[in-house]
Structures are given as C-alpha cells and as structure tokens.
Structure 1
Amino acid sequence: MDHLRYSGLAFEAQRTAFFKIVAADPLLAETLSRVRALDLPDWLVVSGALYNSVWNHLTGKPPGYGIKDIDLFYFDDTDLSYEAEDAVIQRAAKHFEGLTLPVEVRNQARVHLWYETRFGNAYPTLSSSAEALSYFASKTHAVGVRFDAAGQFDLVAPFGLDDIFSFRITPNRALDNRRTHKAKGTRAKVNWPEITVVPW
C-alpha cells in the first residue's frame, strides 16, 4: 500500500482526498452528523480524530485505531464563565452518548483565561475557533472540519494538508510548545511508524 500517494499533490487534490476519507469513516461521519445537530456557535471538529483517520486509511488500519477522543471546538464570547462552558459540556455529554469515543468540548473564547496556569505560557485572546488552529504545537495537527450553510464540508487548515499526507509532524513555533510537539510526535510514531517527526 502506497501510504504517500497523496504527498506533494496540489492542495485541491489533497482536499478532495481528505474529504473523501473523512466522509467514508463511520466514526467521523456519525460524529459530524451529531455535532451538526448540537448546533454550537462557530464549531469545528479538529485535530487527532481527523489526521489519525487519514493515517489509518492510508496504512490499512481500522477506523478509530489510535484515536483516544474527538476534539470539538466552539466559540462563544457572550459568557466567558466556567459555568457557561460547563453547561455546554454537560449538554454535549448527553448528546454524544453511545459514540465509541468521548467528545472533548472546549469554548475557544475562554482558552486565554486558563492556558497560562496549566501550561506556563500566555495565550492570545482568540476571535474564532479557526484561529486556535494557528497556535497548535504542530502544523500537522492544525486541521478542522465543519459543515457550511449548504451542508457541505468546510475545511480549516492554516498550514495546508501536505504534512498529514506526507506522514510528517512539523513544529509550529507560534508558541513555546516544544514539549507538546515532541510528546505527541513520540506517541504518534508508536501507532504509525511511517511518521517522521521534524525536530523543534
């Protein structure tokens, strides 16, 4: 199996392949359908559930292999309290009952309020869910999918898709996320030894 068959192709070709893989993955298809029904403001399914599913498809592994959860972002700056976010998390937990993987829901409008305490570095105040992807530790992981108003897939990929299709984890130095980049790269290589981790 040629796992690098989409590596180096034009972005449009990679986007078409990406959407085809996502749509055919039963876990992602069910998750995205349920997320759409939840109707959160400015939502995005992001990161591991997406690029790991691509790697599974291209290496012949079963759907869901190596995926520990599904990350769901939304953006609501009308109430930045912990209680408001927690209410959404509790509502989502009921909504996603029965899925094979847990769904981690986070309001991106609040990240700057807790990030420094947890990770030791300041974090910018964001203006959208999509903006959060620009600060991920690895460019490879910065990918999100949602439905547009017409019910079609909408892709957010600030650094493109070639890292994903090239099985290459590339650092993003927008923040000092050296440890996260290394840890995620090391963990990914256990499940997908085809991966190359570019040093920080």
Structure 2
Amino acid sequence: MISKKGVENMIIKSKEELINIIESDKDLMEILKTVSLLDLPDWWISAGFIRNKIWDVLHDYNIKTKYNDVDVIYYDVSDLQESTEKIYEKELNRLNSEIPWSVKNQARMHLRNGTDPYESSLDAVNQYPECPTAICIKLVNKKVVIHYNYDFKELFNGIVRPTPYFDNKEKIDIYLTRLEEKDWISKWPKLVIIS
C-alpha cells in the first residue's frame, strides 16, 4: 500500500548533486570532519543523519530536522567490546558535545540483530530495515563518498520500502513496526510509504 502522494518533481537528480548538497552544508561537513579525526577502521556515518537531510531537501525545508542521533559506524573484528564504542563516543563528545553521537562496531552488531555476522560496515548498512535508511557517507581525501546499494531514483523521490533483507514474511513485521513507530509521514508528508 502506498500512503500519501509522492514527491512530484524530483529535486535531487543525481548522486553527484547529493554530494554537492552535503558538501555545501557546513554542519554536515563539520560532523564528517570530526568523525574522521578518530580514524576508525571502515568508518561511516549512516542512517537517519543522511536520510533526513535528503528528505528535508525534498520537502524544501529551510530549517533542518533535529538529529535524534548521529550514527557513527565502523568495523573492527579485533575488538568487540561495547565499552570501546563508549570510549569513541566520549572522544566525539569531547570534540563536539552538541551532537548526540552513537558509535557502533558493526563487527558485533549481528549479535544484537540476530543475523549472520556482517562482513563490513557496508554489508551491515545494506541490511538495515528500509532502503532510505540504508545509506552512509564518509570523507576520503576531504571529499564526500556515498554508499547506497539501492535505487537512487526512489531515494530522491522520497519512496520508503523495505530492503530485500526485510521484504519477507520473517522480517516484514520489523519494517512495519518501524514505520508505525517512526511516523515519518507526519514530518515529511510527501514521502511515498510502501507497506
């Protein structure tokens, strides 16, 4: 079922245009630069931090939606201690205490998520519940790099659908529960929700 009318005219038309939008956002770039200082293995910023920016642009919002948190992910099989993640969060808070940091080592997150072990941070991101959340960015040589394994046209049109990992009878309820709990349509009414 599709609820609400979709974004009629795509505002973001390409991955390169999205990179330009991110690079022109001073706050986003400052957050990326701050995380890059930790030099974590296979690090990325993922999920709602980027998704919400895209949806704000699609809705032509002048004031950005407040961050619930900034999801910093990395992949390190040599240290699976949750306490290490907390040390990184403390360091990020020391560098910028105004950001609600959340740091997670994707090498251990399969235990919480009840899946097979992830092979990398990108493997974990690809297995997030809904496609527009399964996106991540980082800085490489001071340039923004984006990873998104799904349909950019759908992403730029505000379409929300489950990733293939959740589009099955075993996991679709997790996706549907998230849709209900997050209630994204109340903040971004032009979204097209596939349920």
TM-score (norm 1): 0.82
- Using the alignment, how far apart are the partners of 1:82 and 1:108 within structure 2? 11
- Using the alignment, how far apart are the partners of 2:21 and 2:112 within structure 1? 35
Give the counterpart letter for 1:6 in structure 2.
M
Contact 1:25 1:53 in 2 (8 A): no
Contact 2:136 2:148 in 1 (8 A): yes
Match status 1:153 vs 2:147: no
Deviation at 1:64, TM superposition (A): 2.9
Residue equivalent to 2:194: 198
Residue equivalent to 1:119: none
- Using the alignment, how far apart are the partners of 2:8 and 2:177 within structure 1? 24
Distance change >3 Å, CA 155–CA 29, structure 1 → 2: same
Deviation at 1:180, TM superposition (A): 4.0
Contact 1:135 1:172 in 2 (8 A): yes
Deviation at 1:173, TM superposition (A): 3.5
**2:37 alignment partner, SS class:** helix
Distance change >3 Å, CA 180–CA 20, structure 1 → 2: farther
**1:38 alignment partner, SS class:** coil
TM-score (norm 2): 0.83
Candidates 141, 151, 154, aligned match of 1:163: 154
**2:14 alignment partner, SS class:** helix
Greater Cα shift, 25-34 or 168-177: 168-177
Residue equivalent to 1:188: 184
Greater Cα shift, 37-46 or 62-71: 62-71
Residue equivalent to 1:105: 103
User: How many pairs were matched up?
Assistant: 185
Higher relative contact order, chain-length normalized (CA < 8 Å, sep 6+): 2
Residue equivalent to 2:46: 46
Residue equivalent to 2:172: 178
Give the counterpart letter for 1:125 in structure 2.
P
Map Cα deviations across residues 100-140 of structure 1 (whole Å, 9 max, x no partner): x412111101112333xxxxxx2121121111112111112
- Using the alignment, how far apart are the partners of 1:177 and 1:66 within structure 2? 29
Q: Please list every run of at least 4 consecutive aligned residues from structure 1 whose deviation after the TM superposition is greater than 6 angstroms.
A: none
Contact 2:43 2:73 in 1 (8 A): yes
Distance change >3 Å, CA 82–CA 123, structure 1 → 2: same
Contact 2:85 2:105 in 1 (8 A): yes
Contact 1:6 1:14 in 2 (8 A): no
Map Cα deviations across residues 152-191 of structure 1 (whole Å, 9 max, x no partner): 2211111132222111101124144434422443411010
Match status 1:87 vs 2:78: no
